[in-house]
């Protein structure tokens, strides 16, 4: 450990909810997307599941909203070091969508892609079991465009670049295929508790 001369840092908070190297951003919600925020109306939003599934399918806004709702209450962690506590997201569990399309046994990974063309890869195991959502509400309000509205993928147990904004679909694959940040040096999985920020961590 190389101590930085004269650096004390702010008062330590004993916060077991804070993964290593992260800080609590409080009321701030930084935005870090690399592309122009799209003007995407709910009426133009669609969500598709395809690839290694039995019955590929596309939902529009109303069809997706007709599915049983599900909420996530908890924390989110961005690779740029901020975390936010006590967020409330509303939408539909990804399990509910997956039950409809029925993934093949051979499906092990997925690439999530946005209406902008942004991509990110995830193991299928991180998207099932009540750990991933398609979210369109945050703290009781429609999700703002700069935060991915009308709807984003939400996978809060991984760094937040995995939670693709303006989600357009997921393609299920039998192998891992790096997405946008993953091709730019970021970690394939991105578990904040293991500090998997960059490839090689």
Ligand X SMILES: Cc1cc2nc3c(=O)[nH]c(=O)nc-3n(C[C@H](O)[C@H](O)[C@H](O)COP(=O)(O)OP(=O)(O)OC[C@H]3O[C@@H](n4cnc5c(N)ncnc54)[C@H](O)[C@@H]3O)c2cc1C
Q: Which two tokens stand for residue 197?
A: 């920020």
Residue from 15, 63, 81, 106 binding other proteins (CB under 8 A) = 81
Q: Which does 55 bind (CB under 5 to 8 A by kind): ligand X, other proteins, none?
A: none
Residue 199 binding other proteins, by CB under 8 A: yes
Residue from 2, 6, 8, 10 binding ligand X (CB under 6 A) = 10
Coil, strand or helix: which one is 172?
A: strand
Q: Which of 65, 145, 50, 44 is closest to 107 using CA atoms? A: 50
Q: Which residue has the tokens 């991105």?
A: 190
CA quadruple 152, 33, 147, 86: dihedral positive or negative? positive
Residue 8 binding other proteins, by CB under 8 A: yes
Query: Could you tell me if residue 187 is left (phi over 0), alpha (psi between -120 and 50 degrees) or otherwise beta?
Result: beta
If the CB atoms of residues 63 and 183 are measured against other proteins, the closer one turns out to be 183
At its nearest, how many Å lie between ligand X and the CB of residue 22?
11
Query: Could you tell me if residue 197 is left (phi over 0), alpha (psi between -120 and 50 degrees) or otherwise beta?
Result: alpha
Residue 80 binding ligand X, by CB under 6 A: yes
| Alpha carbon distances (Å) from 5 to 21, 58, 167, 172 | 19, 57, 45, 49
At its nearest, how many Å lie between other proteins and the CB of residue 55?
18
At its nearest, how many Å lie between other proteins and the CB of residue 177?
4
CA–CA dist 98, 120 (Å, integer): 18
Residue 5 binding ligand X, by CB under 6 A: no
Please list every residue from 13 through 72 that binds ligand X, using CB under 6 A.
23-24
Site residues for ligand X per CB under 6 A: 10, 23-24, 80
Site residues for other proteins per CB under 8 A: 1-10, 12, 21, 23, 30-38, 80-82, 111, 113-119, 121, 146, 168-169, 171, 173, 177-181, 183-186, 197-201
């Amino acid at each position: 450990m190389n101590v930085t001369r004269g650096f004390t840092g702010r008062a330590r908070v004993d916060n077991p909810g804070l993964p290593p190297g992260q800080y609590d951003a409080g009321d701030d919600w930084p935005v870090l997307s690399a592309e122009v925020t799209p003007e995407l109306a709910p009426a133009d939003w669609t969500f598709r599941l395809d690839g290694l599934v039995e019955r590929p399918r596309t939902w529009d806004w109303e069809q997706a909203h007709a599915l049983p709702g599900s909420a996530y209450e908890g924390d989110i962690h961005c690779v740029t070091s901020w975390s936010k506590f006590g967020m409330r997201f509303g939408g539909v569990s990804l399990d509910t969508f997956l039950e409809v399309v029925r993934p093949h046994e051979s499906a092990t990974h997925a690439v999530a892609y946005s209406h902008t063309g942004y991509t990110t890869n995830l193991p299928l195991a991180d998207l099932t079991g009540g750990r991933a959502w398609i979210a369109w509400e945050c703290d009781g309000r429609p999700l703002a465009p700069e935060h991915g509205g009308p709807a984003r993928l939400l996978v809060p147990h991984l760094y937040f670049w995995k939670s693709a904004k303006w989600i357009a679909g997921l393609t299920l694959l039998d192998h891992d295929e790096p997405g946008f940040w993953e091709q730019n040096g970021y970690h394939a999985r991105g578990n904040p508790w293991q500090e998997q920020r960059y490839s090689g961590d």
